Amino acid sequence: MKKQFSEIIQYKGLLRNLVANELKLRYRNSVLGFLWTILNPLFFLLILALVFSQIMKFQIENYHIFILSGLTAWLMIQQTVVVATASIVNNQDLIKKVYIPKILFPLSSVLARYVDHLILTGVLIGFMIAFHVPLTWNLLFLPVVIFFHFLFSLGFSLIAAVFYIKVRDVQHIIAIIFQAFFYLTPIIYTVNIFPQQYQKFFLLNPFYYFIHSFRFPVYYAQFPPWWILLRVLVITVFTLGAGMFIFFKNEKYFVFHLS
Amino acid sequence: MANSKYSIKVDEVGVKFFLSRQEKKKKKEFWALKDVSFAAKHGEIFGVIGGNGAGKSTLLKIIAGIFPVSQGNVYVKGNIAPLIELGAAINPELTGAENIFLTGSIYKVPRSEIMEKFENIIEFSELRKFINVPVKNYSSGMFIRLAFSSIIFFKPDIILIDEVFAVGDEVFQKKSFEKILSFQREGATILLVTHDAALINRICDRVLVLNRGKEVYLGEAEEAVDFYHKMIKSGEEML
């Protein structure tokens, strides 16, 4: 493990270039360019807000901030994992021809996504100001929460990337899992809409804690409850640890699975 | 390996591939290399010769760290410039200039050093007019010139060269070959893999002959080439 960490330091110049290139190339031939980073989730937000507040008649105060905070936290995990899972396979030409520490590909992919997520978080705070949602000191805890989202999605991506190299069906399976969990996680609704005896089932959902830890300082203007933060910490440590273990154990053999 | 006079040391190395998808089935395994040992000294031009499927490219790839070894050990001292498949590091969507920085960072060259060599690279590649054009719009000759120039300027300790060394037109080929030899005079080790016996004879000090993954001869260039020719004639080398 020590070797892998010192290699990341040695290759920090490459890491920076990979992140910069990914951001640069994504919008090189588009007119609106980087604006799409924000426009895409905002249109999604608009649709969700219309459907659930007007048609489904959800009664949640400041519903757009409620959704946007949940959606931002959700995208930090979902969008990142979906993209980073394919990062090794997408760079197979390079991996087959030169030696590069393999971790750089998922790592740069995750980092590039977090540039987007930070921008979206900025937009969220802009919305809060525009709609007079109180800004409290609790917001200062948000970077810590985002950092845990980052570590968790990195760990998740490492595991998914290893399986994706061996079996390409994994990407479809992950897409389906995320689609299901988007509705199983209280992102667009609160758990209160369910009868008391069913609410405890949400506690089995690991994403629940991440969404909640993000939503507390933003929407509820409160410091996240300790029991939630503790579970975020445990899930993150476990996922990242497992991810690094599986990834570093298999990285030597990746080249044999690439075509 | 510390303070050793060798920059590449290959010790009873074997590389195993699995031909079937199920890795556990033992019978389908195939040894691309088996029990290969040699060592190349600092500043030596070491040749590897053999027919198709002899394991030459596999040998280069394990030295470059692309393939893992299944048995034995490989020791490498210093920076490697693998001219195995030129342009491996090039991203066609990026411009020539951006690619020079990308390639440099792939070989762990600090940004300051890349900036220092930037002018020399552009000069050598003869691409000054096109350096801010995306590489996807380059001709194949321009592409190869960029690929070669952006690797070779970062003072490699070991240069790995695969197969017929074809870099653009004849003039540029000669120029790049001289560039490689100039590094060798400064102490870099060159490992040349080819089936061109004449080239091996002309520039190599010592030569390893491979046949179907096995080491069959290791010695002075002239004798090794003789051995290789005899081997071909006697039909020893079969596929």
Q: Please report the ipTM that was assigned to this predicted complex.
A: 0.85
Predicted TM-score (pTM) of this structure: 0.89
Q: How far apart are CA A215 and CA A61, in angstroms?
A: 14
Q: B78 pLDDT band (50/70/90 cuts)? A: confident
A9 in contact with B at a CB cutoff of 8 Å?
no
Q: How far apart are CA A245 and CA A240, in angstroms?
A: 8
What tokens appear for B26 in the block? 């033992």
For residue B194, the cross-strand partners are B49
Alpha helices in B24-169 (DSSP H): 56-64, 96-106, 111-125, 140-152
How many angstroms away from the CA of A126 is the closest CA of chain B?
34
B199-219, pLDDT tens digit by residue?
888 889 899 999 988 988 899
Q: How far apart are CA B89 and CA B70, in angstroms?
A: 26
How many angstroms away from the CA of B234 is the closest CA of chain A?
35
Which residue, chain included where needed, has tokens 């010790």? B11
What is the side-by-side strand order in the sheet with B206-211?
A: B71-76, B6-18, B29-41, B214-220, B206-211, B45-49, B189-194, B158-162, B80-83
Q: Is B111 in Cβ contact with A97 (below 8 Å)?
A: no
Q: How far apart are CA B69 and CA B144, in angstroms?
A: 30
A187-227, pLDDT tens digit by residue?
988 888 888 888 888 999 999 999 999 999 999 999 999 99
How many angstroms away from the CA of B66 is the closest CA of chain A?
5
Nearest residue on chain B to A8, alpha-carbon basis: B108
Closest-CA residue to A163 (of A86, A255, A244, A49): A86
How many angstroms away from the CA of B51 is the closest CA of chain A?
21
Q: Is B68 in Cβ contact with A13 (below 8 Å)?
A: no
Q: How far apart are CA A81 and CA A20, in angstroms?
A: 19
- Under an 8 Å CB criterion, which residues of B touch A? 17-18, 64-68, 80, 82, 84-85, 88-89, 91, 93-94, 98, 101-102, 104-106, 108-111
Contact between residue B10 and residue B193 where contact means Cβ atoms under 8 Å apart: no
B38-77, pLDDT tens digit by residue?
999 998 999 999 888 888 889 999 999 999 999 999 999 9
| CB atoms near residue B149 (< 10 Å) | 26
Q: Is B65 in Cβ contact with A99 (below 8 Å)?
A: yes
Q: Is B89 in Cβ contact with A94 (below 8 Å)?
A: yes
What tokens appear for B57 in the block? 């490219």
A99 in contact with B at a CB cutoff of 8 Å?
yes
Q: Is B85 in Cβ contact with A16 (below 8 Å)?
A: no
Residue A92 corresponds to which amino acid? Q
Q: Where are the domains of chain A?
A: 2-133+144-257
How many angstroms away from the CA of A185 is the closest CA of chain B?
38
Is the pLDDT at B23 greater than 80? The verdict is no
CB pairs under 8 A between A and B: 58
A253 in contact with B at a CB cutoff of 8 Å?
yes
| CB atoms near residue A195 (< 10 Å) | 7
A132 in contact with B at a CB cutoff of 8 Å?
no
